[in-house]
Amino acid sequence: MGTATLTIDLSAIAENWQALDRLSGVETAAVVKADGYGIGAGIAAKTLAKAGARRFFVAVTEEGAALRAVLGAGPEINVFSGHMKGDTQTLSDLELTPMLNSPEQIARHKTHLPDHPFGLQVDTGMNRLGIEAYDWQPEMAEGATLVMSHLACADTPDHPMNDAQLKTFLDMTAGLRIPRSLAATGGVLLGAGYHFDLTRPGIGLYGGLPFADAQPVVSLDLPVIQARRVRKGEPVGYSNTWTAQEDSTIATVSAGYADGLIRAISGKATLYAGDTPCPLVGRVSMDLLTVDVTHLDKVPDRLSLLAPQQTVDQLAEAAGTIGYEILTSLGHRYARRYVGAPS
C-alpha cells in the first residue's frame, strides 16, 4: 500500500478527557473544532460523549451542523464564532448555541432568534474575540446560558497575563448568576481559581502540550517506496539542500506537504525504524520524503514519524512550530486506523 497509516487511539482521547475532568472538579466540555484537531470531529465527539462529555465547542456554525448530524439531539453544541450573517436558520434548526462576541451579534440574535439559547464571550485582554470591556454591560447576559473568555498565555503558568485576565474576568462578570468559563486545557492546569463552572479542554484531549500527562493519541507510519545508494558528493532532493558526506542509503518515503507534513521539518525531523532514529534529509516535497537509513542493517518497509519516540510536540519543536499545527495539518490521504474504541 502506497499511503501512510495514521493510527488514532480513541481510548487515549477518552482517558485524557477523564483526567482533565478530574482536575477540573466542575463540568468539563470538549472542544472538537478543526475536525477534532485533525483526527476526525465526529468520531472524537462520539468517543468523548461515551466518556461523559455533554457539551461541545466548535469554531463555526458549519462545524456545528456536521457535529449535530453525528451526535443527534441532546448534547449542547456551542459555536465560538457566534451568530454570523446567514447562520440564523441553521442555529435554529439544529439547536446550536452561539457564543455572541459583539453588540452587533447580540442585536442580530435578539432580532432573529429572540427565544433561542445563546452564550456570551467577553474579551479580557487577548484582543481576538469577545465583547470589549468598554462595550460590556452586565444586562447583556440576561438569559445567557454561559459567559466565557479565553486565556492568551495559559501554557506559561507564571505569565502575568494569566492573573491580569483572571482579574478582568472577575470584574466583568461580578454579580452575574450565570455559569462562567475561562479555562481551556492550559487554564485547567493553572488550578481551581481558573475553573469557574465549566472548563473547555481542547489540545490536551488529543495528546498535546501543555497537558504533559496526556496519553499519546496519534501515530503515523510511512511506507518506503524505494531505497537507493547515493555516492559521496551527490545531492538529494529539490535545490540540492543536502549532499551525501559519504556513500549512503537513502529511503524515499510516501508522504509530503500534501499530507500536512510541513516543509519546515525539512532537514530537521527524525523518523524511526523501531527505536532507531533516521534523519530526514533534503527538502520535504509534495508527496515524498527522503530519509538516511545508511546505518540500518536492512531497509524497513515503513518508517514512523509520530510514535512513542517522537510526539507531535517534539516534531513541532523540530519544525519551530506548535503541536496544534502538526495535528491540524494531518492530511486526508492517510489510511486512518481507529483503535481502542471505548465501550
pLDDT tens profile 238-280: 999 999 999 999 999 999 999 999 999 999 999 999 999 999 9
Q: Cα dist. 74→28, 36, 278 in Å?
A: 16, 19, 48
pTM of the model: 0.95
**275-330 pLDDT, tens digit each:** 999 999 999 999 999 999 999 999 999 999 999 999 999 999 999 999 999 999 99
**16-36 pLDDT, tens digit each:** 999 999 999 999 999 999 999
> Which sign, positive or negative, has the C-alpha torsion 129, 110, 147, 201?
negative
- Total count of domains within the chain: 2
213 in a structural domain:
no
**115-146 pLDDT, tens digit each:** 999 999 999 999 999 999 999 999 999 999 99
**86-108 pLDDT, tens digit each:** 999 999 999 999 999 999 999 99
Among 160, 183, 206, which residue terminates a domain? 206
End-to-end Cα distance, the chain = 31
Same domain, 144 and 83: yes
pLDDT at 1: 62
Q: Which domain holds residue 332?
A: 218-339
pLDDT at 128: 96
Distance separating alpha carbons of residues 263 and 333, to the nearest angstrom: 17
Same domain, 202 and 222: no
Same domain, 100 and 25: yes
> Which sign, positive or negative, has the C-alpha torsion 8, 11, 12, 17?
positive
- Catalytic site positions: 33, 238
Same domain, 195 and 327: no
C-alpha cell at 79: 459555536
CATH no. for residue 163?
A: 3.20.20.10
Q: Is the pLDDT of residue 343 over 80?
A: no
- The CA-based dihedral angle spanning residues 169, 196, 174, 120, taken in that order and rounded to the nearest 10 degrees: 70
Same domain, 158 and 48: yes
Q: What is the per-residue DSSP string for 173-237?
A: HTT--S-EE--SHHHHHH-GGGTTTEE---GGGGT-TT-TTPPP-EEEEEEEEEEEEE-TT-EES
3 in a structural domain:
no
C-alpha cell at 69: 448530524
Average pLDDT over residues 9-14: 98
CATH no. for residue 239?
A: 2.40.37.10
**187-196 pLDDT, tens digit each:** 999 999 999 9
Same domain, 173 and 229: no
Q: Is the pLDDT of residue 342 over 90?
A: no
Distance separating alpha carbons of residues 235 and 104, to the nearest angstrom: 58
User: Would you say how long the chain is, in residues?
Assistant: 343
121, β-bridge pairs = 148
